Chains A and B, each alone.
Chain A
Amino acid sequence: MKGYRIWNWVLVVSFSAFVAFLPKFISEFSLNLAVMMLIYSLFAVAYNMLLGQAGLLSFGHAAHFGIGAYTAILVYKHFGLSLLPGILAGGGCSILLGVIIGIFMVRLRGLSFALLSMAFNMLIYATAEKWRSLTNGEDGIAMQRPDLSIPGFGSIDMFSTVNFYYFALIVVVLCIAYCWFFTKTPLGRLIVCTRENTERTSFVGYNIYATKLFVYLICAFFCGVAGALASSFQEFVSTSMINLDKSADILFMTFVGGRGIFWGPIAGSCFLMYINDALSTLTEHWAIIQGAIFIALVMYAQDGISGLLLGMKDLLLNRFRKETG
């Protein structure tokens, strides 16, 4: 057991070194992909708070991602604020949206929850499309990303991708670290109880609606932060960041990675973004292959990639144990 723990540490340290020195090894083009992987990892981990931990299937989380994305760009454009306030405003507005739609959503579960989330997403998409004076409709808004200025410390130029990579890395790691910590807190445990047995949870003294609403808002915050990071990085926001395709993408990433294990969604988003990128240089029909993977996983591996990996690890460990007696 002790050797096993050492291997875990070796894995963590080498992975940290890998992400920390990544910009030294790869091209600017690949680094762009790496930044997007970071951002979608956060989006997927936050989304999995609902899908995996609360057992609530949402088809509408592009609404939270998108509102974060729009907020950041609009804050830079109209208020001339720097990077960090823009990102936080993105998370904040996503919470506000969460309060408004959350009070309706948390009364439902199962199919009705999924359908209502989809309906809200469509409503918000339509608003973004039609409110041209604010959002510029389908054409979107372009806005150069501002510097990162920290009071009393000075300001860091964010024009270079390498700098933004490190900024995104720090924000994403901090957010995901909190999401991991969240699973150990009373509320984090409670939401698992509501997934397991909603009725019993209310009969031991918990207000189910309030519980689900709190978790919905925490999830909304991180989805908004992810959206704000994405639009800041791409220096552009349009309705493609708030439409149902985006909602399907995140569900897809989370499911492919495995919703039952905390780091599953990270694996899923990195894997899918990587193969999409690799396949799209080979063939324009990459979506067919992506679809085939999804079908195969839904049918044969409900726990996704992370479930498969853990299964393989157990298999190897057992073989190792047998050989060494």
Chain B
Amino acid sequence: MENEAILELIDLHKKFGELMAINGLLLSIAKGERHAIIGPNGAGKTTLFNLLSGLYKVTSGRIVFKGRDITGLPPHRINRLGIARSFQIINVFPQLSVFENVRTVLMSKHNIRFNFLRNINKWGNIAQETLAILEQIGLLDKKEYMAGFLSYGEQRSLEVGLTIASDPEVILLDEPTAGMSMDETRQAIKLIDTVTRGKTLVIIEHDMEVVFKLADMITVIHYGKVVATGSPEEIQEDPKVKEAYLGGQ
């Protein structure tokens, strides 16, 4: 099934001082695909997300989203175009209620970000959509809680909620199950599976169980380059992948 590419990374480079963290990376992600990015520690996976989401400036190369060059755009512009990311370390609004955490994203989605003349509660649709998202991520009964008081697993769910609430076309999840117990991981997989249905998902993951359950494409990167791309079966058989993991240790 050959779909059109929604996201293309063309000869991407990122240099930190003398270190080439991303070194001529070429990758094409098709629309609707669930694409896992794996690789040894320090391979450049999170750096890649930081480039994609606009946190870091690209040294050279291009990032193309739906045929449009988005290289060098600031994070908020990239988010509004339809690429949303989550973070490896929990990154929510700890002193605000769970409800308000999600509502913040919906304010952006509905373009009422700078309104200072109307009470936020007057937008009934925003409150409703917020509740719908909270139900999806299973935090409806905790909506009044301060986000910082949620358990680790719940904060992870909220992190996913903040990422999907704006209804993005491409969802970037950076190790969404990091630090979770086996049980929590299984629930997280189920959650990610439901909330990303029909969207393009790019996920960085160390846990192979998560990768094989969620992904229909896998890309292995090592030293900032793509080692191999293919279906889970192809990747398992690929001798270059084994070498990257074993040789990289």
Contacts and interface: CB of A to CB of B under 8 A. Distances in A.
A223 B93 CA distance: 29
Nearest to B106: A204
B80 A210 contact: no
Contact of B113 (A181, A192, A206, A218): A206
Q: Which 9 A-B pairs have the closest CB atoms?
A: A205-B108, A187-B116, A205-B79, A196-B93, A202-B75, A186-B115, A204-B105, A185-B116, A186-B112
Residue among B53, B113, B118, B162 having the largest count of chain A Cβ atoms under 10 Å: B113
B120 interface: yes
A204 B104 contact: yes
B115 A189 contact: no
A247 B166 CA distance: 41
A184 B113 CA distance: 13
Nearest to A192: B96
Contacts of B74: 202, 207
25 contacts: A184-B119, A184-B120, A185-B118, A185-B119, A186-B112, A186-B118, A187-B116, A193-B96, A193-B104, A196-B94, A196-B96, A197-B91, A197-B93, A197-B94, A199-B91, A202-B76, A202-B79, A203-B87, A204-B108, A204-B165, A205-B79, A205-B80, A206-B76, A207-B74, A211-B113
Contacts of A207: 74, 76
Contacts of B120: 184-186, 188-189
Interface in A172-201: 181-182, 184-190, 192-193, 196-197, 199-201
B184 interface: no
A200 B93 contact: yes
Contact of B117 (A185, A193, A204): A185
A41 B82 CA distance: 44
B84 to A, nearest CB: 7
A214 interface: yes
Interface of A: 181-182, 184-190, 192-193, 196-197, 199-208, 210-211, 214, 218
A197 B92 contact: yes
Contacts of A211: 113-114
A186 B117 CA distance: 9
Nearest to B111: A205
A60 B80 CA distance: 35
B76 A214 contact: no
A199 B117 CA distance: 26
A40 B166 CA distance: 42
B107 interface: yes
Interface of B: 53, 55, 74-76, 79-80, 84-85, 87, 91-96, 100, 103-105, 107-109, 112-121, 162, 165-166
B71 to A, nearest CB: 17
A202 B87 CA distance: 13
A184 B112 CA distance: 13
In this complex, which of A181, A202, A208 has the most chain B Cβ atoms within 10 angstroms of its Cβ?
A202
B107 to A, nearest CB: 5
B166 A205 contact: yes
Nearest to A181: B119
Contacts of B84: 203-204
Given A185-B115, A211-B113, A214-B116, A190 B104 contact: yes
A131 to B, nearest CB: 34
Contacts of B162: 200, 204
A238 to B, nearest CB: 34
Q: Which of B76, B84, B112, B166 has the most CB of A within 10 A?
A: B76
B3 to A, nearest CB: 26
B114 A186 contact: yes
A197 B109 CA distance: 18
Contacts of B165: 204
B107 A189 contact: yes
Given A185-B115, A189-B120, 7 more contacts: A187-B114, A196-B94, A197-B94, A199-B91, A202-B76, A203-B53, A205-B108
Contacts of A208: 76
Nearest to B147: A196
A189 B104 CA distance: 8
Contacts of A202: 74-76, 79
A42 to B, nearest CB: 18
A261 to B, nearest CB: 14
A187 B92 CA distance: 18
Contacts of A186: 107, 112-116, 118, 120
A218 B112 CA distance: 17
Contacts of A188: 116, 120
